[in-house]
Amino acid sequence: METKEYINSGILELYVYGLLSESENDEVTAMAFKNAEVKEEIVSIEKAIINLSSSFSPFISHSQFEKIKAQLELKHGKVVSMKSGSSRITYLGWAASILLLIGIGFQYSKLNQANNQVVTIENEKLKLQETVVDLETKNKETETVLNVIRDETNTVISLGGQAAAPTAKAKIYWNKQTQVVYVDASGLPEPPKGKEYQIWSLKLQPQLTPTSIGMLSNFSANRSKVFAVEKTGDAEAFGITLEPAGGSASPTMEQLYTLGKV
């Protein structure tokens, strides 16, 4: 094997890292003894590892080393000095291990950063989707309200405040042909917890006959405060009462908030 091919084989790096078998170490040592170019390459690899590892390692002065050595002698007896060649190989082996760990740590850090970026992007995507859905919902609500208000076939009935809530008011948009009824409850106060507004279609003659046509459920969540209720075809008046959640079979007259004749 030619010298250049031998150097490029990677065996010298394994030799410096201390990863060869004893026989392979002897072979490389013999080759370095005979070939100056191989020896220079080994020295170059050793210097590169030492320089790189020292940039990550804290500097220990001679006095600090002597203090550590003295402490070790107190605890474990005399510290045995290693031969310089063996010490150098051991140091290079540790240096290579440190570099390997640093490399793994760097890659792990990069992987974590990439994963965090993916999570951040996914969260932003979800937030954007929620915003889009919310905007679509608002647009549909706005479109519904505008269609109700602009529909010239609707009869608009204003409901005025009663004794239970003098300042309350509401509007009924009633299409007599389709019997569809919408309630604009923006003039009603927020109902107390456990209570809901109930809408009544009223017949006045020959006697007062109320018929429930729906509840204004989820009052707080409805931003437009325009509610679609059940159809009616023969109302002579409309009233709104405050009832227990779920509604009542008949209106609680003491809690009549608004009333209006057609």
pTM attached to this predicted model: 0.49
Q: What is the dihedral of CA 47, 53, 54, 58, to 10 degrees?
A: -160
Do residues 157 and 174 lie in contact, with contact meaning Cβ atoms separated by under 8 Å?
yes
Amino acid 237: pLDDT: 96
Q: Is 161 exposed, middle or buried (0-12, 13-18, 19+ CB in 10 A)?
A: middle
Summarised one tens digit per residue, pLDDT across range 92-107 is 556 666 666 666 666 6
CA 112 from centre of chain:
16
DSSP states of 78-140: SPPPPPHHHHHHHHHHHHHHHHHHHHHHHHHHHHHHHHHHHHHHHHHHHHHHHHHHHHHHHHH
Domain boundaries, the chain: 3-105, 154-261
- What's the pLDDT score for residue 80? 44
Q: What is the pLDDT of residue 75?
A: 45
**225 near 142, Cβ under 8 Å?**
no
Per-residue pLDDT tens digits of the chain, which is 262 residues long:
688 888 888 888 888 777 788 888 888 888 888 899 888 888 888 777 766 655 554 544 555 555 545 554 554 444 444 444 455 555 555 666 666 666 666 666 677 777 777 777 777 777 777 766 666 666 676 676 777 777 888 999 999 999 999 999 999 999 998 999 999 999 999 999 999 999 999 999 889 999 999 999 999 988 889 999 999 988 999 999 999 999 999 999 999 999 999 9
Which 3 state secondary structure label does DSSP give 27?
A: helix
Question: What is residue 133's predicted lDDT score, i.e. its pLDDT?
Answer: 66
Q: Give me the amino acid identity at 67.
A: K
Structure tokens at 163: 């004794």
Q: Per residue in 117-160, pLDDT tens?
A: 777 777 777 777 776 666 666 667 667 677 777 788 899 999 99
